[in-house]
């Protein structure tokens, strides 16, 4: 079965510090796409970052970066210089051509930012 | 204006009622999806559509039906609502390998 595991139900970090959210996934495919989405209290689902599995270089978007370890099927999200506005649920997900690009989701990690 | 619009934003209804949730998009994407979000479970796919003539069941389609009225419109119906269908429902659109874009969600409560 295709699964995504986020082992940290909740994480907290001091404002301006760095935090890493973990994600592992299980697929036998070699071509897929990985995503991190953010869901603030407003409940919108906002794309944070995207990684193509065929690319070895880790994706970055400003303060957000990933550590993609394909062999280990690991896709962690690092948030640098954490800001109060980063407080949200963070979801890891992936999609594959063979499943018509359906998104398979983890259960989420709640990130708390301490001022 | 939002690229993906869901209506209503919130709805409270009673068991046994028929409910329709609507979704429209201005992104011109061919694919549209309906997801359900429950606490601690992430999102689960209910139905998806690749064009007006293509409807596919997702992981949890029982108790739901959909209609793709046009490329830009995709509605989700609960024929006879039951309390365990209380959840947050999301519509999303996608194209090719690009990330899916989500509406703001409909919070549905069934009493």
Residues 6+ apart with CB under 8 A from A17: A81, A82
β-bridge partners, A96: A32
Query: Looking at residues B61-80, what average pLDDT do you find?
Result: 95
Cβ pair A78, A90 in contact under 8 A: no
Give B-chain residues touching A103 at CB under 8 angstroms: 33, 35, 43, 45, 92, 100
Residue B36 has pLDDT above 80, yes or no: yes
pLDDT computed for residue A99 by the predictor:
73
Please answer yes or no on whether A100 and B99 come within 8 Å at the CB atom: no
Q: pLDDT value at position B6?
A: 97
Q: Which residues, given as ranges, of chain A have pLDDT below 50?
A: none
**HSE value, Cβ hemisphere, 13 Å, CA-based, for B9:** 4
The answer to whether B32 and B25 are in contact (CB under 8 A) is yes
Q: Is the pLDDT of residue B1 over 60?
A: no
Question: pLDDT per residue over A84-93, tens digit each?
Answer: 999 999 999 9
Tell me whether A91 touches chain B (CB under 8 Å).
yes
Beta-carbon pairs below 8 A across chains A and B? 54
Tell me the HSE value of B15 on the side-chain side, using a 13 A CA sphere.
Answer: 4
DSSP classification of residue B11: E
């Amino acid at each position: 079965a295709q699964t995504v595991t986020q082992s940290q139900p909740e994480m907290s970090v001091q404002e301006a510090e760095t935090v890493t959210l973990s994600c592992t996934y299980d697929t036998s495919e070699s071509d897929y796409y990985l995503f991190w989405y953010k869901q603030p209290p407003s409940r919108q689902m906002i794309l944070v970052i995207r990684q193509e599995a065929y690319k070895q270089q880790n994706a970055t978007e400003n303060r957000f970066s990933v550590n993609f370890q394909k062999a280990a099927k690991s896709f962690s999200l690092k948030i640098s210089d954490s800001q109060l506005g980063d407080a949200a649920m963070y979801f890891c997900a992936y999609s594959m051509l063979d499943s018509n690009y359906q998104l398979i989701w983890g259960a989420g990690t709640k990130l708390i930012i301490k001022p | 204006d939002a690229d993906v619009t869901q209506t209503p934003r919130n709805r409270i209804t009673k068991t046994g009622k028929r409910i329709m949730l609507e979704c429209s998009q201005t992104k011109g994407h061919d694919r549209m999806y309906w997801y359900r979000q429950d606490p601690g479970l992430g999102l689960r796919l209910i139905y998806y559509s690749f064009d007006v003539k293509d409807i596919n069941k997702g992981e949890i389609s029982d108790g739901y039906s959909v209609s793709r009225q046009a490329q830009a419109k995709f509605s989700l119906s609960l024929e006879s609502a039951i309390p365990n269908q209380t959840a947050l429902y999301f519509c999303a659109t996608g194209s090719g390998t690009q990330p899916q874009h989500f509406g703001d969600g409909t919070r549905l409560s069934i009493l």
